[in-house]
Structure 1
Amino acid sequence: MYTTIQSFIAEYENESLATRKLLDALTDVSLSQEIAPGFRSLGPLAWHLVHKDHGLLTGAGLSFQAPAADSETPASAASIAEAYRTVTQSILSAVREQWSDEALGETVQIFGQSWTKGLTLYIFLKHEIHHRGQLTILMRQAGLPVAGMYGPSKEEWSAMGMAAPV
């Protein structure tokens, strides 16, 4: 849970850089990669990180610019990556301008539960990290390189001239 705006901003800026690495590696062809029939493919999963959330931040009263949740997934991987950059900046600006450190302690109703705004920001970020993990699996299945998030990926170990630990 966040108790200061700056602590959220610092972590979200860092984590969004990691997400951007993954989105930048997507190709238009890879967007149709699915884990199994009936599940989200890579494109809609990546777009889920861009469009308006389903009640987390907006449900807590934050107003920011983002595509609607029911908007169609772009066919262009570059469009998804660029939209993510734009939305990330919109969220950061909104948090800076609309909330204060004191406001993070305010209680809001999210999904029928009482959460503080600071907890809402925390869960929002963990939600993105959760889906980022799903992206890496689909990217591997699509044959795309995966960037390391909290340490080197197999490709990054190789680029350093070392074998990845097994």
Structure 2
Amino acid sequence: MPTTIDEFVKEYEMESALTEKALDALTDESLKQAVTDKHRTLRNLAWHLVQSYNYMTYLGLTYDEPLAAEEAPTSAKAIADEYRRLSRAFRRALASQWTDETLDVEVDVFGATWPNRETLRFTLRHEIHHRGQMTVLMRQAGLRVPDIMGPTLDDWLDKGEEPRV
């Protein structure tokens, strides 16, 4: 759990850079990929990550830029660009509006009371969770999955090595 705003921002920057790698690997065609017709498409899942920044306004943060639109773009590049724009707006808002003491302020989050530090931790976990779901759909869509947590199968094969299990 973050103990300072600075600590959170450093970890957040690492995680958001990994999410950017995943989003940059998407194609317009891949956005239609879903496990089944009852599950989110890759487009919906990627846009959910973008729209997650909107929810931070419930914690009292205000952005110096517009929030994400309700409807997801049909362009993979547009989704990745919106993610970058809003993740930077989130960092600016956090750095300028919260202090280390703000982390202990408790707020209502969908019916539960959480300290802001717990909400920030949830924010990281939420992003990591959905990024992982995206990589499965990316593989199903025939995309090359970027090396998010180390070399991928494709990376090993490119090196002429046996994939490590």
Q: TM-score range by the shorter chain?
A: over 0.9
Q: TM-score, normalised by structure 1?
A: 0.92
Give the deviation of 1:165 after TM superposition. Answer: 1.6
Greater shift in the superposed pair: 150-159 or 7-16: 150-159
Give secondary structure in 1 for the equivalent of 2:118.
Answer: helix
Answer whether contact 2:54 2:68 (CA < 8 A) is retained. Answer: no
Give secondary structure in 1 for the equivalent of 2:61.
Answer: coil
From the two aligned structures, give the one with the greater helix fraction: 2
Answer whether contact 2:53 2:87 (CA < 8 A) is retained. Answer: no
Greater shift in the superposed pair: 3-12 or 145-154: 145-154
Counterpart residue number, 1:67: 68
CA distance in 1, matches of 2:19, 2:161: 25
Counterpart residue number, 2:89: 90
Answer whether contact 2:53 2:86 (CA < 8 A) is retained. Answer: no
- Paired positions, count: 163
CA distance in 1, matches of 2:44, 2:128: 16
Q: CA offsets, 1:65-124, max 9 Å, x none?
A: 4214xx111010000011111011000000001100111111111121111111111101
Stretches of structure 2 that go unaligned for 5 or more consecutive residues are none
Q: Map 1:13-92 to 2 at 5 A.
A: 13-53=13-53, 55=55, 57-64=56-63, 65=65, 66-68=67-69, 71-92=70-91
CA distance in 2, matches of 1:67, 1:156: 34
CA distance in 2, matches of 1:149, 1:37: 27
CA distance in 2, matches of 1:25, 1:149: 12
| Paired letter, 1:12 | Y
CA distance in 1, matches of 2:35, 2:54: 23
CA RMSD of aligned residues (A): 1.4
Give the deviation of 1:39 after TM superposition. Answer: 1.0
| Paired letter, 2:17 | L
